[in-house]
Structure 1
């Protein structure tokens, strides 16, 4: 006699390949069988989940409910038990946890549920329990929508206006859709069925989905979804009344929605600047020569062009309206409040270095602040240096933001407080590092008055979309970076990270090509013998996302996991090598030899949200190696110590226009002129 299959719930675990049965998510789901095995079954789908896959699965499932979980997502131990206990006591169309894009809070019931929080929720199919037969009914009626829209379509179809979330969390791990958007498959001509709903929650989900679709259209440049459907969607759900919720996070898409709602208003104020303002312009067909071309997109049968134009501030609607405060009305001077910051948890980046320079050279400016998290390890260090610190993202911080005449940062955050944003006030963006990848889609969607570049190659790329805002000065930290001779000689290895390894188990991580390639370098016998013979060490600076895996690597007396800061490690190294990290640009700038070891060059960028702008073979600032033995030969023969004329020519071109002695001075001159 065999046990009957569970009839309550099927948990479908999706993976892009063989499922990692040692991953935390998989183990937590199957662990619930100890108590609830008679209530739920587990199905594994080792390929991407599509609408067609959902239809096929539901057609053969015999459980009342189904839930789809992606292997790379996070679930707490209570996830499946909470679902089962909820479902076994009632009959529902839908049940859902509280969805997060980052860590799951200890108490999920205290999380905000305002418009911004609802809008930011991932509204994909994952983590949500569907009634299997009712999902089949939807697919029979509206199976022409993309999987990413099935959750919204299901709620529209069954008129589910509001859901009380369960007291358990589910995390999609990261908001990668914000980078690449969503792209319905070819042949799909609509996003969702146009079934009326007055639910504010659903309308906010629809707004977010429309924004993600428009973001994906910028990335992929074409879609079979036409303008008429998009306009019908906006008008059916009155999304124009909600568009301000999206404007701070996705201003370009918000402008596109306003244009779709009213095509006669084809020019939209995008960023206030000093003396002139930047506008986005939308056209069917071609743009004229006065515009900076940004995009040419195909939507259904129509061709849409998006460009940028710069116009005098006097053309701005309401420019002389006394009821509208102009944050540019007061010139920057010694009485101005100026706010600097790097990351909330970490300083020692470009804002810290520019702050130190500015306060030393311009002591007449007394209202200059540096914002940082109080728990940061850098707080006490900067306090000892006399920095005027303010806890970041606190009420005090926002009051200073409101009073400030200028914000200067190596990071871009969606600051908004009492009507002030980065769209209507002065902001100097210092960057964290040189952009080696093509991040045009990201750059055009951000607000800044000045965008700091390093060298004419990067500056030319940025000027193509921000001709007046780009400043080729170099990064502030480079001015004070210098090679520091050290008796304890060492080389430095700085491998970056792989997005597809975030949530895998330790065993799966150790089976990855990333781990095998990195660890093979750390344990190479020829390399170890060379280090021993020459009295050197190999310092390994792990990416922050790899730190939790550090124990998996085989370090030794000669190969050490360094605790030095990036700055200290780079400045004292004889040679620095990486796979793709832009951090090695700092080393090259101060004359330290660099090299690239790209064992997975063929597939690396397929898993990244951006494509490389740099041809490492012809433009890289050091040799490129694809094989382990090649790299080791380069090191143990000490070829890195031999000057190379071609590398010097590339460096001269790469850093063209940057005066190492005037980096900070150049930026300060520009920012005080805003």
Structure 2
């Protein structure tokens, strides 16, 4: 062992067995061998907390410390560059350029500007702290959550600006943006209220607060008081920066404005045709009256009630003000520009089917466009069908969006251009799937004039959140599916994705329970033998977020990755099964047998941005299996071919209110009335 103390300790957080084949671990190990006297690696086998970090600081002998997770990623030169930088200096903080996704080849080309600051993860990972300075700071700020430790450290030592080194680090996840964050149960303050003039820090703080508020909507309770939240907003003048929050987290933006007060409890949220929707924030257990009760949250010793109401246009602040344009002022008519789109690289979803119906039934609307990436394999197909195609997310697209009177899509994107957004213009959301899970927090964060529901169960759920916007018509593709159902040619497996695996390394993905369970099923000898003997093929339709991982699955002659479009795959299926995807309801709608395979029922919702709303065992439209052997038996014995009155009755109840022959007509009637 060398006599000198190490310069840097890498604390690798990995509860449970360490993935020694991961790119991050192998890169750390190589650096450890090269810089033996300067570098130490500590495997921390629990989740890091502020208290754990304080204890580590007391035990570490190195001058500097950096915290990492095995699933995160670092550029090849990360450690070499960092050590070279640290050796001749005595600094408080050193950091790389931080990403949520893949590290680009040219890290130095990244623009460190406001947009980068707002998108940057502000947790402790990847940043090098001076161990002694961190220990001293923790004596004062040791009551904050680990996720706020980086921000609190910079506030404590008045580190207003940091110039990142020309190396990259990726936290390899974007889940916080969708689900927010939850702090430890005993945390009573987010950050110390130490004044700063740094815009960089204040942008970090407004993002952190927005993520905290988003997480609070899910958690429903915190020890952090409303007064502290107000102090954070006012001390750091965060209302001035709420524009960074609004595009992706409009609910939290309204909340921050209310915390910044003074002002009315009602905050405008979405402009609508017949009036506007408002969010109402008030202390105490207020009665809802005619308003919709959305949340009742506990904040320390305080109760915060959040409601929703609909009010006339002229109640809106600034209504009719000179210099502003009302995008609702022009009624929809044959002269209107309309935009339809599904995914940028993939059509064959609800927008395509509604567009085809609409342009056939209403040829007088000559300025209806379908937006798509020209590189999409669907582009030539739609061109042959006579679609008026528009390259999506181009200058021409945004110019058309600016003059459009209506946007219709199966996806919700943050489309903004020259003051126009879905907050102040007409948008019909067709959905891609059905709200089987509790998506309340997500649903309430989005702008739409019409939310297309499918059946009484979903419509009742949505009406409690958006009664004026909900339309129980059914999805446009269902009308096509009912019309085009063909003779069965294959079995179809449609697994959904796992939110927590979206950005993990290839090594971690290959070792995940998700990958193992799917491979165990599709390589089952009994299943493969049955497929061979009966001449059947099992097509596996991977979720678009998983297609890039297709090489990890063990396909074979009779179990193949499906290249069919959704419509063709489902209409020609003999039986369709999934884990949790609502896509199988397309099959159930046309009376094709379905089934569920819940191999991870105990853990699935733990790291997802939603919770179960439907009990599949009692409300599912097909049987639920937890062991792959039981599912295989169901297939091999062809149980799915036998009629089942229970599932037939559930299907009828689920889709109640939907007329298969008039789905598109119902949506068109509603959208033309906006």
Question: Do the two structures share a fold, i.e. TM-score over 0.5?
Answer: yes
Q: Name the counterpart of 1:215.
A: 214
Alignment partner of 1:577 is 2:573: no
Deviation at 1:3, TM superposition (A): 2.9
Matches within 5 A, 1:74-223: 74-223=73-222
Q: Name the counterpart of 1:375.
A: 375
Deviation at 1:27, TM superposition (A): 1.7
Deviation at 1:180, TM superposition (A): 2.3
Q: Answer whether contact 2:173 2:503 (CA < 8 A) is retained.
A: no
Matches within 5 A, 1:274-673: 274-285=273-284, 286-482=286-482, 484-486=485-487, 489-502=489-502, 509=509, 511-673=511-673
Deviation at 1:511, TM superposition (A): 4.9
In the aligned structure 1, how far is the partner of 2:90 from the partner of 2:264? 49
In the aligned structure 2, how far is the partner of 1:202 from the partner of 1:346? 39
In the aligned structure 2, how far is the partner of 1:402 from the partner of 1:264? 31
The worse-fitting range, judged by mean Cα deviation, of 378-387 and 243-252 is: 378-387
Q: Answer whether contact 1:28 1:76 (CA < 8 A) is retained.
A: no
Q: How many residues align?
A: 672
Q: Name the counterpart of 1:23.
A: 22
User: What SS does the corresponding residue of 1:283 show, helix, strand or coil?
Assistant: strand
Q: Answer whether contact 2:101 2:503 (CA < 8 A) is retained.
A: no
Q: Relative to structure 1, is the Cα distance of residues 188 and 524 closer, same or farther in structure 2, using a 3 angstrom cutoff? A: closer
Q: Answer whether contact 2:50 2:145 (CA < 8 A) is retained.
A: yes
Deviation at 1:545, TM superposition (A): 4.3
In the aligned structure 1, how far is the partner of 2:241 from the partner of 2:75? 33
Q: Answer whether contact 1:617 1:624 (CA < 8 A) is retained.
A: yes
Deviation at 1:183, TM superposition (A): 2.0
TM-score (norm 1): 0.96
User: What SS does the corresponding residue of 2:622 show, helix, strand or coil?
Assistant: coil
Q: Relative to structure 1, is the Cα distance of residues 398 and 665 closer, same or farther in structure 2, using a 3 angstrom cutoff? A: same
Alignment partner of 1:249 is 2:248: yes
Q: Unaligned stretches of 5+ in structure 2? A: none
In the aligned structure 2, how far is the partner of 1:175 from the partner of 1:514? 19
In the aligned structure 1, how far is the partner of 2:5 from the partner of 2:478? 63
The worse-fitting range, judged by mean Cα deviation, of 627-636 and 612-621 is: 627-636
Q: Answer whether contact 1:20 1:505 (CA < 8 A) is retained.
A: no
The worse-fitting range, judged by mean Cα deviation, of 191-200 and 411-420 is: 411-420
Per-residue Cα deviation, 1:407-462 (whole angstroms, up to 9, x for no partner):
11111122222111111111111111111110000111111100111111011111
The worse-fitting range, judged by mean Cα deviation, of 496-505 and 129-138 is: 496-505
Alignment partner of 1:73 is 2:76: no
User: What SS does the corresponding residue of 1:569 show, helix, strand or coil?
Assistant: helix
Per-residue Cα deviation, 1:99-153 (whole angstroms, up to 9, x for no partner):
1122222323333433233212111111111111111111111100000000100
Per-residue Cα deviation, 1:636-671 (whole angstroms, up to 9, x for no partner):
221111111111110011111111111111111111
Deviation at 1:478, TM superposition (A): 1.4
In the aligned structure 2, how far is the partner of 1:610 from the partner of 1:587? 24
Per-residue Cα deviation, 1:256-281 (whole angstroms, up to 9, x for no partner):
11111215421111111002111111
Q: Answer whether contact 1:476 1:664 (CA < 8 A) is retained.
A: yes
The worse-fitting range, judged by mean Cα deviation, of 549-558 and 24-33 is: 549-558
The worse-fitting range, judged by mean Cα deviation, of 286-295 and 105-114 is: 105-114
Deviation at 1:337, TM superposition (A): 0.9
In the aligned structure 2, how far is the partner of 1:288 from the partner of 1:565? 46
Q: Relative to structure 1, is the Cα distance of residues 277 and 512 closer, same or farther in structure 2, using a 3 angstrom cutoff? A: closer
User: What SS does the corresponding residue of 1:82 show, helix, strand or coil?
Assistant: helix
Q: Unaligned stretches of 5+ in structure 1? A: none
The worse-fitting range, judged by mean Cα deviation, of 599-608 and 631-640 is: 599-608
Deviation at 1:225, TM superposition (A): 0.8
The worse-fitting range, judged by mean Cα deviation, of 347-356 and 267-276 is: 347-356
In the aligned structure 2, how far is the partner of 1:508 from the partner of 1:119? 28
Q: Answer whether contact 1:97 1:127 (CA < 8 A) is retained.
A: yes
In the aligned structure 1, how far is the partner of 2:196 from the partner of 2:477? 53
Q: Relative to structure 1, is the Cα distance of residues 501 and 353 closer, same or farther in structure 2, using a 3 angstrom cutoff? A: same
The worse-fitting range, judged by mean Cα deviation, of 499-508 and 351-360 is: 499-508
User: What SS does the corresponding residue of 2:602 show, helix, strand or coil?
Assistant: helix
In the aligned structure 2, how far is the partner of 1:316 from the partner of 1:429? 24
Q: Answer whether contact 1:268 1:281 (CA < 8 A) is retained.
A: yes
Q: Answer whether contact 1:336 1:367 (CA < 8 A) is retained.
A: yes
The worse-fitting range, judged by mean Cα deviation, of 332-341 and 353-362 is: 353-362
Deviation at 1:185, TM superposition (A): 1.6
The worse-fitting range, judged by mean Cα deviation, of 71-80 and 48-57 is: 71-80
In the aligned structure 2, how far is the partner of 1:342 from the partner of 1:61? 53
User: Alignment RMSD, CA only?
Assistant: 1.9
Q: Answer whether contact 1:5 1:41 (CA < 8 A) is retained.
A: no
Deviation at 1:505, TM superposition (A): 6.4
The worse-fitting range, judged by mean Cα deviation, of 46-55 and 535-544 is: 535-544
The worse-fitting range, judged by mean Cα deviation, of 585-594 and 246-255 is: 246-255
Q: Answer whether contact 2:336 2:365 (CA < 8 A) is retained.
A: yes
Q: Relative to structure 1, is the Cα distance of residues 24 and 503 closer, same or farther in structure 2, using a 3 angstrom cutoff? A: farther
In the aligned structure 1, how far is the partner of 2:48 from the partner of 2:146? 8
User: What SS does the corresponding residue of 2:400 show, helix, strand or coil?
Assistant: helix
Deviation at 1:548, TM superposition (A): 4.5
The worse-fitting range, judged by mean Cα deviation, of 501-510 and 329-338 is: 501-510
In the aligned structure 2, how far is the partner of 1:166 from the partner of 1:381? 47
In the aligned structure 2, how far is the partner of 1:599 from the partner of 1:407? 39
In the aligned structure 1, how far is the partner of 2:486 from the partner of 2:342? 28
Deviation at 1:619, TM superposition (A): 0.5
Deviation at 1:37, TM superposition (A): 3.2
Q: Answer whether contact 2:423 2:447 (CA < 8 A) is retained.
A: yes
Deviation at 1:484, TM superposition (A): 4.3
Q: Name the counterpart of 2:226.
A: 227
Q: Relative to structure 1, is the Cα distance of residues 149 and 378 closer, same or farther in structure 2, using a 3 angstrom cutoff? A: same
User: What SS does the corresponding residue of 2:369 show, helix, strand or coil?
Assistant: strand
Q: Name the counterpart of 2:55.
A: 56
In the aligned structure 2, how far is the partner of 1:540 from the partner of 1:417? 39
TM-score (norm 2): 0.96
In the aligned structure 2, how far is the partner of 1:415 from the partner of 1:53? 42
Q: Answer whether contact 1:6 1:40 (CA < 8 A) is retained.
A: no
In the aligned structure 1, how far is the partner of 2:288 from the partner of 2:561? 56
Q: Answer whether contact 2:350 2:475 (CA < 8 A) is retained.
A: yes
User: What SS does the corresponding residue of 1:531 show, helix, strand or coil?
Assistant: helix
